Structure 1
């Protein structure tokens, strides 16, 4: 077996790509969920103040829950 597959540099690169994929997945889910909840009509050139506030609150709660869930899984044996 080629030892370059076990190199620390390759392992580090793979871990970084895995983290990047997880962040991209989270952003896509957050965008979809918050958009569906907060944007009820056809969007104009700008969000209304209520849409903007809703999006900010939704994104904040989504991130808070994601962090809470990740911490919970990390603490499991």
Structure 2
């Protein structure tokens, strides 16, 4: 089986897509559990919206910090 540069790029892109999907799933789960305390209606309360936005931002900030740490090693 040939390991062409195109195949390697394709595999790398697919790995990145999978990691992004996992991150979004984890982010959704963690922030939902933290911020949504009751069954939501047709829209989130202002407190829930603020909590979700802050939670997502902190989660993404930490993901960037962790990724940079791995790059340095």
* TM-score category (smaller protein): over 0.9
What runs of 5+ residues in structure 1 fail to find an aligned partner? Answer: none
Q: Take 1:54 and 1:47, find their aligned partners in 2: how far apart are those partners?
A: 10
TM-score normalised by the chain length of structure 1 = 0.92
Q: Which protein, 1 or 2, shows the higher relative CO under an 8 Å CA cutoff with sep ≥ 6? A: 2
The aligned counterpart of 2:14 is: 17
Please say which structure displays the higher CA radius of gyration: 1
1:46-68 CA distance string (max 9 Å, x none): 00000000000000000000100
By how many angstroms is 1:73 displaced? 1.2
Aligned positions, number: 73
Q: Which runs of 4+ in 1 moved over 2 A?
A: none
TM-score normalised by the chain length of structure 2 = 0.97
By how many angstroms is 1:25 displaced? 0.1
Q: How does 1:53-68 map to 2 (within 5 A)?
A: 53-68=50-65
Q: Take 2:58 and 2:39, find their aligned partners in 1: how far apart are those partners?
A: 24
